[in-house]
Amino acid sequence: MRKIFTALFVVFFGIVLLLGISRTIPLTKYEDKIVPTSAGGAFIEKKVNITTENYKDYKDVIFGETRDAETGSANMVTSVVVNYRAFDTLGEITVLFLAAVGVSLLMGGSGKKKRLGKSGFILKTAAGILFPVMLITGIYIFTHGHLTPGGGFPGGSMIASSFLLLYLADEKFELKLKGFKVAEGVAGTLFIVIGAVGLMAGGYFLMNFLPTGTVGNLFSAGIVPIIYVLIGLKVGSEITGVLSDMMTVEVHE
Partner 1 sequence: MMELLNILEWGVSILLIFFALAAVVSKKLLTSIIFLSVLSMAAVAAFALLRAPDVAVTEAVIGSGLVTFIFVTSIRGLRKAGDSI
Partner 2 sequence: MIRLASLILILIGLYGVFSTRNVIKILVGVNIMELGVNIFIISIGFVNGGLAPILTSGSFSSALNFVDPLAQAIVLTSIVIGLGITTLGLVFARKIHVNYGTYDLSKIGGGSDD
| Residue 248 phi, psi dihedral angles, 5° rounding | -75, 150
Q: Is 114 in the site for partner 1 (CB under 8 A)?
A: yes
Residue 8: contacted member of partner 2, partner 1, none (CB under 5 to 8 Å, by partner type) = none
Contacts with partner 2, residue ranges (CB under 8 A): 2-3, 6-7, 9-10, 13-14, 17-18, 21, 25, 27-28, 30-36, 39-40, 42-43, 45, 47, 55, 58, 60-64, 74-77, 80-81, 85, 88-89, 92, 95-96, 98-100, 102-103, 106-107, 148-149, 151, 153, 215-216, 235, 242, 246, 250-253
Site string for partner 1, 142-181 (x = CB under 8 A): -------xxx-xx--xx-xx--x-----------------
Q: Is 119 in the site for partner 1 (CB under 8 A)?
A: no
3-state secondary structure of 26: coil
Residue 118: contacted member of partner 1, partner 2, none (CB under 5 to 8 Å, by partner type) = none
Contacts for 162 with CB less than 8 Å, ≥ 6 apart: 130, 131, 134, 135, 138
**Nearest-angstrom CA–CA distance, 131 and 166:** 7
3-state secondary structure of 249: coil
Q: Is 247 in the site for partner 1 (CB under 8 A)?
A: yes
Residue 174: contacted member of partner 2, partner 1, none (CB under 5 to 8 Å, by partner type) = none
Question: Hey, which residues does 67 pair with through a beta bridge?
Answer: 214
Q: What's the alpha-carbon Rg for the chain, to the nearest Å?
A: 25
Q: Report the residue count for the chain.
A: 253
Q: Which is nearer to partner 2, 107 or 130 (CB)?
A: 107
**Nearest-angstrom CA–CA distance, 176 and 240:** 11
Provide the b/e sequence for 101-139 (b: ≥16 CB within 10 Å): eebbeebeeeeeeeeeeeeeeeeeeebeeeeeebbeebb
Query: Among residue numbers 44 through 83, which ones bind partner 1 (CB under 8 A)?
Result: 75, 77-78
Least gap, CB of 5 to partner 2 (angstroms)? 9
Least gap, CB of 53 to partner 2 (angstroms)? 13
| Residue 196 phi, psi dihedral angles, 5° rounding | -70, -35
Q: Is 239 in the site for partner 1 (CB under 8 A)?
A: yes
Residues that bind partner 1 (CB under 8 A): 75, 77-78, 114, 116, 141, 149-151, 153-154, 157-158, 160-161, 164, 239, 243, 246-247
